[in-house]
């Protein structure tokens, strides 16, 4: 393992997205990665502004930041792709030009600093993949992101310009993907994956064009129907979260939450308080978090079920003598499902046909001597099955119809007319439909 790192937070994360900083610190602590803060760090500097003012000032600002780390004999790590890219480019440029390095050091000498290029510069993803390793990440996963479909946006500055960055392939990178797969997620590719998000246009008063580029990316991502978009770049996060919210206010509802890598790691590691951090995003992640809660329950039944009640239920088994399905079919065995849950094999229980063969006649809930009926368990399992895409096709179809029309079928107007009944009016519930579509329930 390399030497300790100074964490370079940059300006945007600490100013606009403190939840990113908090999640990153939680991951660093969980993985026992040693790091420190250096209060004297300035802006990296931001390339499109400072470099266009004065290129020497741009380089000098960068080497000063690196020299501060060298002075403490530590490397630099950053989760901001812009900071990472700028510092890497400046270092590569200066160490390859010794006369220029000498000139900059003469200036740094006035403030007691010297730049040698001895400190390595890592991106958070790079350090996790290359130094920490996927095995250690997997070992810390408490709740795998199983069944979670994720669209990655790498961002330009994480991988380009490749001659200076050397982090991954500039157009076909894999390290971000590998970490997500180590967390148990399903990474899905999409058209325009490596295309710039266009957020830089906002910084030059071209907001409408920034929104246009956001639409292009979001349209291609929407085609593959992911549960979420993930990125580590704060500028890209602004484009996909803040500007997606702006599009929503204008009437274009993509409703694809944006979750950073560090937040996903916190969820997978079982770190408390992560959902509160995600709750600070503009695009709410209700559906994703609901689905994730379902995957958590498949890993640990105690999240959704009370063990003492399950044990009493299994030991009682009175429902075998009352349930119409049990009395009609020997294969219908409620205690078998209870045993699966107690054995922490919730995934098998959720996929069992027994769950959906319940007639919902409420006989067990009326007669259960434990006041913890079979119906209670099944309701929870059905909910988990739907969250984990394990429900019967007819249930899926009915669910889709309900969310589209708020009904479970269209009236047969011909028959109604023959019977002298008036036409059924279209449901007027646009306000309620909006609550559902925007995940505000």
Residues 6+ apart with CB under 8 A from 414: none
What stretch of H or E contains 230? Answer: strand 228-230
Q: Which of 105, 29, 24, 21 lies closest to 70 in space, CA to CA?
A: 105
More confident residue, 430 or 352: 352
Q: Which of 338, 256, 271 lies closest to 305 in space, CA to CA?
A: 338
Q: Do residues 77 and 7 lie in contact, with contact meaning Cβ atoms separated by under 8 Å?
A: yes
% of the chain beyond a pLDDT of 90? 81
Phi-psi region of 371 (alpha: psi -120 to 50; beta: other; left: phi over 0): left
Q: What is this structure's pTM?
A: 0.85
Residues 6+ apart with CB under 8 A from 238: 12, 16, 199, 202
What is the reported pLDDT for 387? 85
Q: Which of 380, 384, 425, 383 lies closest to 407 in space, CA to CA?
A: 425
pLDDT in tens, 139-159: 999 999 999 999 999 999 999
C-alpha span between 80 and 260 (Å, rounded): 11
What is the reported pLDDT for 371? 86
Domains of the chain: 5-127 (1.20.1050.140), 133-284 (3.40.50.11810), 301-387 (no CATH), 393-437 (no CATH)
pLDDT exceeds cutoff 80 at 373: no
pLDDT exceeds cutoff 80 at 437: no
Q: Do residues 148 and 110 lie in contact, with contact meaning Cβ atoms separated by under 8 Å?
A: no
Which long-range CB contacts under 8 A does 89-93 form with residues at least 24 apart?
89/161, 89/164, 89/165, 90/58, 90/59, 90/62, 90/63, 90/66, 91/62, 91/63, 91/66, 91/117, 91/121, 92/163, 92/164, 93/59, 93/164
What is the reported pLDDT for 439? 62
């Amino acid at each position: 393992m390399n030497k300790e790192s100074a964490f370079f937070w940059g300006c945007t994360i600490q100013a606009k997205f403190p939840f990113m900083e908090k999640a990153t610190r939680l991951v660093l602590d969980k993985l026992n990665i040693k790091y420190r803060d250096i209060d004297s760090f300035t802006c990296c500097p931001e390339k499109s502004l400072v470099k266009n003012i004065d290129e020497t000032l741009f380089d000098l600002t960068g080497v000063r930041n690196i020299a501060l780390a060298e002075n403490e004999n530590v490397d630099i790590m950053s989760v901001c792709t812009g900071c990472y890219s700028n510092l890497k480019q400046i270092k590569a440029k200066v160490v390859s030009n010794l006369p220029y390095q000498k000139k900059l050091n003469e200036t740094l000498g006035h403030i007691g600093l010297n730049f040698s290029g001895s400190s390595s510069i890592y991106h958070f993803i790079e350090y996790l993949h290359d130094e920490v390793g996927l095995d250690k990440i997997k070992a810390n996963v408490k709740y795998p992101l199983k069944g979670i479909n994720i669209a990655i946006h790498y961002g330009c500055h994480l991988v380009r310009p490749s001659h200076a960055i050397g982090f991954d392939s500039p157009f076909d990178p894999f390290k971000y993907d590998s970490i997500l797969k180590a967390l148990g997620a399903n990474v899905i590719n999409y058209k325009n994956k490596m295309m710039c998000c266009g957020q830089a246009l906002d910084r030059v008063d071209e907001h409408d064009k920034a929104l246009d580029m956001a639409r292009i990316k979001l349209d291609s991502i929407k085609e593959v129907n992911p549960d979420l978009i993930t990125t580590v770049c704060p500028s890209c996060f602004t484009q996909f979260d803040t500007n997606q919210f702006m599009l929503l206010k204008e009437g274009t509802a993509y409703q694809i939450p944006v979750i950073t890598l560090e937040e996903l790691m916190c969820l997978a590691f079982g770190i408390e308080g992560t959902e509160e951090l995600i709750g600070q995003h503009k695009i709410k992640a209700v559906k994703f978090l609901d689905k994730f809660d379902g995957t958590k329950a498949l890993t640990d039944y105690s999240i959704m079920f009370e063990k003492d009640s399950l044990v009493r239920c299994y030991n009682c088994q009175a429902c075998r003598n009352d349930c119409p399905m049990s009395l009609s079919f020997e294969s219908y065995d409620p205690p078998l499902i209870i045993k699966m849950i107690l054995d922490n094999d919730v995934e098998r229980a959720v996929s069992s046909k027994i769950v959906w063969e319940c007639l919902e006649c409420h006989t067990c809930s009326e007669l259960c001597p434990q006041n913890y009926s079979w119906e209670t368990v099944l309701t929870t399992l059905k909910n988990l099955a739907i969250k984990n895409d394990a429900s019967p096709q007819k249930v899926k179809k009915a669910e889709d119809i309900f969310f589209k029309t708020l009904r479970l079928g269209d009236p047969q107007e011909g028959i109604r007319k023959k019977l002298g009944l008036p036409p059924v009016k279209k449901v007027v519930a646009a306000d309620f439909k909006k609550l559902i579509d925007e995940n505000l329930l």
